[in-house]
Chain A
Amino acid sequence: EIVLTQSPGTLSLSPGERATLSCRASQSVSSTYLAWYQQKPGQAPRLLIYGASSRATGIPDRFSGSGSGTDFTLTISRLEPEDFAVYYCQQYGRSPGTFGQGTKVEIK
Chain B
Amino acid sequence: QVQLVQSGAEVKKPGASVKVSCEASGYIFSSYYIHWLRQAPGQGLEWMGMVNPSSGGTNYAQKFQGRVTMTSDTPTSTVYMDLSSLRSDDTAVYYCARDRGFSYGLGDSWGQGTLVTVSS
Chain A bound to chain B: yes
Contact B103 A93 (CB under 8 A): yes
> Does chain A have a CB within 8 A of B46?
yes
Tell me if A's interface is mostly helix, strand, loop or mixed: loop
A14: interface (CB < 8 Å):
no
Query: Judging by beta carbons under 8 Å apart, are B104 and A35 in contact?
Result: no
Enumerate 22 A-B pairs (CB-CB under 8 Å) in ascending A order. A33-B106, A35-B106, A44-B97, A44-B110, A45-B45, A45-B95, A45-B107, A45-B110, A47-B108, A50-B108, A88-B44, A90-B45, A91-B104, A92-B47, A92-B103, A92-B105, A95-B104, A96-B47, A96-B61, A99-B45, A101-B44, A102-B44
Of all A-B residue pairs in the complex, the 9 with the closest CB atoms, nearest first, are: A97-B105, A97-B104, A44-B110, A96-B61, A97-B47, A92-B103, A99-B45, A92-B106, A92-B105
